Homo-oligomer: A and B are copies of this chain.
Amino acid sequence: MIKQPLKGMNDFIPEEAGLRDYMINQILEVYHQFGFERIYTPAIEDIENINNKEGGDNQKLIFKILKRGEKLEEAINASQFDDLSDMGLRYDLTLPLTRFYANNKASLPQVGKFIQIDRVYRAERPQRGRCREFVQCDIDVIGDESYNAEIELITATGRALLRLPIGEFFIRVNNRQVLKSVLLSFGFNEESLDNICIILDKLDKIGVDGVVGELEAQGYDAKAIEGLKKLISNPVTLDDIAGIIPENPNLQILKNVIDEANQLSKGSYKVIYDFTLVRGQGYYTGCVFEIASAKFGGTIGGGGRYDNLIGKFTGEATPAVGFSIGFERIYAILHETGFKVPGRKKLAIIYKNDYIGAFNLADSYRDSYEVSMYAFPKKVGKLLNRLELQGFNAYVIYDKDNEENNLNTIDANN
């Protein structure tokens, strides 16, 4: 019997689980206030769905589930070793959402606003910070082609993050169609745009010279490369872009989204344009977003519009936009910095006799405290020290024959 959880998967002790539940409740409360509603989908999907190529690189990281009984025997006897599995664990919440929407469309509102906070699985190589089971935290608007959906997602996500003590953050926004129009204007051709986006997406890691080098190595037009190089070497504003592709309707949408989202943030976070933002997933068709935390460095969320995904299930074009908070990243930050969940009050009833009497006393406190009962131990000082370490706020020593049974405060310095 093996005591440790599998590599890349985690046990969460009460303090840790309490922090996770607190985060989820804060986020849920804000999302509910915005009219989003939670849904649940199974963690397991048909292998056919989960092997679809929209999953990009994540699709290589699927945990596959072995067939059972006769079907497993059949596959082995026929030496069909590519056919040992009929199901897989989901690698994200977007594929299950699109399948869910296609399956339940008749029972859902015309514009669906969905919350998913749930586990996903990736067969990553076990190493620090690469979890194989982790929680994703998504909201999606399905059925709204207007850019109000983008504004609502950005604002709801921003407000949710304001509930968590992560310090300053900002939201970077781009639009894939705008990016592609700019690339076309430089002379890149239509068919190469996806590939150039993939290279551009590496800018953070390989820098301007790296991007230029890869484009040159792949034989793209020198003048086109030169045009792109200028734009990624210096900060670019929406006005700069308007100079390149004036009167582009997607550019107007991008302007409006950024402008209105900023008005609604009332300065509590900034929404900014980022010409170089691509986002990895191939399925994005319009605006893309990313959340960056000034204090902690790096990305703590992202999303975008993916108008073509649901149609793969339904055959019917259906607009969709989603935004995902990097739950595990924020959890790790709050956990490492020792954030204490506010508002929990813990009381111990230490009883000398009369368990029923002590229980009834405990009951009288349960509306204001989380109440634990302990038999009076040989060394009460040791118990009190332990309670303090565990974050208890108060205790009562209950003695049936003592009319007082006073509430004593524990000074836990936190």
- Asked if residues A42 and B104 are in contact (CB atoms below 8 Å), the reply is no
Contact with B along A42-59 (1 / 0, CB 8 A): 111110110010000000
What B residues does A121 contact at CB under 8 A? 44
Closest CB of chain B to A86's CB: distance in Å?
A: 9
Chain B CB within 10 Å, residue with most, of A11, A64, A360: A11
Question: From residue 308 to 332 of chain A, which have CB atoms closer than 8 A to chain B?
Answer: 312-314
Whether A108 sits at the interface, judged by CB under 8 Å, is: yes
A370-B33 contact given A3-B103, A103-B5, A110-B386, CB 8 Å threshold: yes
Of A16-24, A218-226, A281-289, A406-414, the stretch lying at the interface with chain B is A16-24
Whether A376 sits at the interface, judged by CB under 8 Å, is: no
- Asked if residues A109 and B386 are in contact (CB atoms below 8 Å), the reply is yes
Contact with B along A1-36 (1 / 0, CB 8 A): 111111001111110111011000000000011110
- Asked if residues A20 and B2 are in contact (CB atoms below 8 Å), the reply is no
Picked from B17, B87, B119, B132, the residue with its CB within 8 Å of the CB of A38 is: B17
- Asked if residues B43 and A119 are in contact (CB atoms below 8 Å), the reply is yes
Picked from B3, B14, B369, the residue with its CB within 8 Å of the CB of A39 is: B14
Closest CB of chain B to A251's CB: distance in Å?
A: 19
With CB as the reference atom, state the residue of chain B lying closest to A356: B263
Whether A402 sits at the interface, judged by CB under 8 Å, is: no
- Asked if residues B3 and A375 are in contact (CB atoms below 8 Å), the reply is no
Chain B CB within 10 Å, residue with most, of A6, A14, A20: A14
Q: Copies of this chain, how many?
A: 2
- Asked if residues B17 and A37 are in contact (CB atoms below 8 Å), the reply is yes
What B residues does A355 contact at CB under 8 A? 148, 151, 260
- Asked if residues A2 and B49 are in contact (CB atoms below 8 Å), the reply is yes
What B residues does A33 contact at CB under 8 A? 366-367, 369-371
- Asked if residues A20 and B4 are in contact (CB atoms below 8 Å), the reply is no
Whether A373 sits at the interface, judged by CB under 8 Å, is: yes
Whether A245 sits at the interface, judged by CB under 8 Å, is: no
Question: From residue 83 to 107 of chain A, which have CB atoms closer than 8 A to chain B?
Answer: 84-85, 87, 89, 99-100, 102-104, 107
Chain B CB within 10 Å, residue with most, of A99, A152, A355: A355
* Whole-angstrom CA separation of A328 from B113 in the bound complex: 25
- Asked if residues A38 and B65 are in contact (CB atoms below 8 Å), the reply is no
Whether A166 sits at the interface, judged by CB under 8 Å, is: no
- Asked if residues A2 and B99 are in contact (CB atoms below 8 Å), the reply is yes
* Whole-angstrom CA separation of A330 from B274 in the bound complex: 50
A39-B65 contact given A3-B102, A6-B44, A371-B34, CB 8 Å threshold: no
A152-B373 contact given A18-B38, A313-B3, CB 8 Å threshold: yes
- Asked if residues B39 and A11 are in contact (CB atoms below 8 Å), the reply is yes
- Asked if residues B370 and A35 are in contact (CB atoms below 8 Å), the reply is yes
What B residues does A44 contact at CB under 8 A? 6, 9, 63, 121, 132-133
Whether A346 sits at the interface, judged by CB under 8 Å, is: yes
- Asked if residues A46 and B2 are in contact (CB atoms below 8 Å), the reply is yes
A84-B84 contact given A37-B17, A370-B32, CB 8 Å threshold: yes
Chain B CB within 10 Å, residue with most, of A2, A132, A386: A2
14 contacts across the A-B interface (CB closer than 8 A): A1-B99, A1-B312, A3-B99, A4-B103, A5-B45, A9-B42, A10-B42, A12-B40, A32-B370, A35-B373, A42-B133, A43-B119, A64-B66, A155-B359
Sample of 16 further A-B pairs with CB below 8 A, known A17-B40, A148-B375: A6-B42, A6-B45, A6-B87, A11-B103, A33-B367, A34-B366, A63-B66, A66-B66, A68-B123, A109-B390, A110-B386, A113-B372, A151-B359, A152-B373, A260-B355, A264-B360
Enumerate chain A interface residues (CB-CB to B < 8 A).
1-6, 9-14, 16-18, 20-21, 32-35, 37-46, 48-49, 52, 63-66, 68, 76, 81, 84-85, 87, 89, 99-100, 102-104, 107-111, 113-114, 119, 121, 123, 132-133, 146, 148, 151-152, 155, 260, 263-264, 312-314, 346, 355-356, 359-360, 366-367, 369-375, 386, 390
